[in-house]
Chains A and B, each alone.
Chain A
C-alpha cells in the first residue's frame, strides 16, 4: 500500500530509491520471510532454503551496501534515503531487514578507520560481492551479560568484576581470542566475518574492551546452532565460539582508550536502524488493520464504519506517523553528525519500537480471532514487534542510558559549527 509522505521535498532520486526498495520488499522479502517463519531455525538457513534466494537478490540489487560510501563501491545513500529504504524493509520483514544490515556491520566500521589494508582486504570485496557470499555479523552480545555490555552509564560497567565472555590477549604481532558470544548474535551462524567486541583489559570491566574485524573461517572459530525463538524467526541468530583464534594486531580497530565513546557511536547507529524498521512495522500493522476494517462486515456494516473502530484506526495511523517523524528526525540528526548525539537515537529506538508493538497489538484486536491465526501475517508482525522491545538493548536499559547522558551533559548546547 502506498502512503502519503508529509515530506513534500522528496527528490526524484529519493522516490526512485524508495520505490525500488518497496518493490523488493513486497515481491521478495515479505513472501520469503513468511515462508522462513514457518521453518525450523536450522532449516531456514540450510542449503536450498529461500533465505539464500533473498540474500542473493538483495546483494544483486546492492542493498547490502546501503550504509557504505560510494568511494568503496557502496550506495552512499543520504540519511533520508536510508530511512526510506529501511522503512520499506521493516514493513516487509523486521528480521530480514536486520539480517541485511548486520551483513555490512564489520565493513562499515572498517571504513571508519581509513586503513587501506583493511579496506582492500575486507571492505572492497564486500562491496563487490553480488552473490551474498560475504556476510558480516555484530558479535557483541554475551551469554552471561545481556544488557551489561551496553550499560555504559552504570558503575558496574567498568568494574573488574565484569569479566567478558570473550577475551583477547596480545601475543607477538597477533591477538589471540578465546570465549563465546551468545545465541543472540544476528546472522551469527551464517556469517563469514564478525565485528567482534572482546575484553582486552579485564581490570577495566567492559570499559577495557576492544573491537576487531575477524573472518570466521580461521582456525579456532566455530558456530552454534541457529536459535529458535518466538519472533523474527526469519532472522538467523546463534552463538560463535573462539578457541585460540588468532588475528593480526592491525585488525583490532578499537581499544580500551576509546571503547566507551566508540560503543556509543555504534549503538547510536544501530538504534537508528531499529527505529526506521519499526516505522515500517508500525505501518504494516496499520495497513492490515485498515484493509480488514473496510472488508470485514459486523453488525451489518464494515468495521471501519463503527464508532469505536474509527478511533482505533486513527490511533494506528497516528502511531505510524509519529514513528516516521521521530525516526526521520533522529536519523537526519545522527547520520549528519559525528560523533552523534546518542540520546536522540535512544529516543527513536525506544519510542518507535513501542509504537510499532502497540500497533501490532491493536491491529490484532481489530482483526479479532483472524488476527491470531497463522493464516495471516498479522500474528507474525506482533511476534516480530515483541522482539524489538528487547533487541539491540532492551528499552529499559536504553532509557536508563539516555537518562544517564541527560543527567551528565544537559542542558545540551547548540552545535557550535
Chain B
C-alpha cells in the first residue's frame, strides 16, 4: 500500500513543506542564487509539483512550467528520499529516480533540499505518515 493515500494528501503536505522551506529557510534564496527550478513528477499517487523561489504550484499549473531539473519517481520513493533513506546513486542506477536537466544542477539538489529534509519528519507525524 502506498505511503501517500492519495494525491490530495501529498499535495497538501508538500504544499506546506515547500512553503516553509521557501519562505522560512535559505532554500528559496539558494534556489534563486543557483538558477534552479524543480519539477517533481510523482507516480502512485499521480502528482506533479513545481517549485521555484516563489513557492510551489501543483497539477496543471506545475505541468505548464519549464523547470531546470525534473525528477520522476514513485510516491514511496519520494517519501524515502525526503526521509534521507534513499541511496541516491543506487536509486538513479536502478531507475527508481529519473532526472532530466544538467547533471551539475541535479547534483546540487541534494544539499539544497537539506532544510526540507530536516522539516519533513514533523510533517509526516502531522499527516500520519510513517517515519520508521
What 1/0 flags go to A179-203 for Cβ under 8 Å of B? 0000000000000000000000000
Contacts of B72 in A (CB 8 A): 416-417
Contacts of A70 in B (CB 8 A): 34, 104, 108
Given A336-B102, A417-B100, A257 and B107 touching (CB < 8 A)? no
Q: How many A-B residue pairs have CB under 8 A?
A: 85
Q: Which of A74, A109, A119, A258 is most buried by chain B, counting CB atoms within 10 A of its CB?
A: A258
Is A111 in contact with chain B by the CB < 8 A criterion?
yes
Contact between A339 and B95 (Cβ–Cβ < 8 Å)?
A: yes
Contact between A111 and B93 (Cβ–Cβ < 8 Å)?
A: no
Interchain CB contact (< 8 A) of A338 among B87, B90, B92, B110: B92
Interface size class of A (residues with CB under 8 A): 20 to 34
Contact between A76 and B104 (Cβ–Cβ < 8 Å)?
A: yes
User: Which residues of chain A from 221 to 260 have a CB within 8 Å of any chain B CB?
Assistant: 253-254, 257-258
Interchain CB contact (< 8 A) of A69 among B87, B94, B105: B105
Contacts of A339 in B (CB 8 A): 92-93, 95, 98
Complex Cα gap A373–B72 (Å): 56
Q: How close is B18's CB to chain A, nearest CB, in angstroms?
A: 19
Complex Cα gap A415–B101 (Å): 13
Contact between A415 and B100 (Cβ–Cβ < 8 Å)?
A: yes
Contact between A338 and B104 (Cβ–Cβ < 8 Å)?
A: no
Contact between A112 and B95 (Cβ–Cβ < 8 Å)?
A: no
Contact between A79 and B93 (Cβ–Cβ < 8 Å)?
A: no
Q: How close is A123's CB to chain B, nearest CB, in angstroms?
A: 10
Is A71 in contact with chain B by the CB < 8 A criterion?
yes
| In the complex, residue of chain B having the shortest beta-carbon distance to the beta carbon of A337 | B100
Contacts of B111 in A (CB 8 A): 71-72, 114, 119
User: Which residues of chain A from 396 to 417 have a CB within 8 Å of any chain B CB?
Assistant: 415-417
Complex Cα gap A68–B104 (Å): 6
Binding site for A on B (CB under 8 A): 34, 41, 70, 72, 87-90, 92-95, 97-108, 110-112
Binding site for B on A (CB under 8 A): 67-72, 74, 76-79, 109, 111-114, 119, 253-254, 257-258, 261-262, 264-265, 335-339, 415-417
Q: List 5 additional A-B contacts (Cβ < 8 Å) besides A70-B108, A257-B90.
A: A71-B107, A78-B104, A112-B89, A254-B93, A417-B70
Instruction: Pull 10 A–B residue pairs with CB atoms less than 8 Å apart, ordered by A.
Output: A69-B107, A69-B108, A71-B111, A76-B105, A111-B107, A113-B88, A257-B90, A258-B89, A338-B92, A338-B99
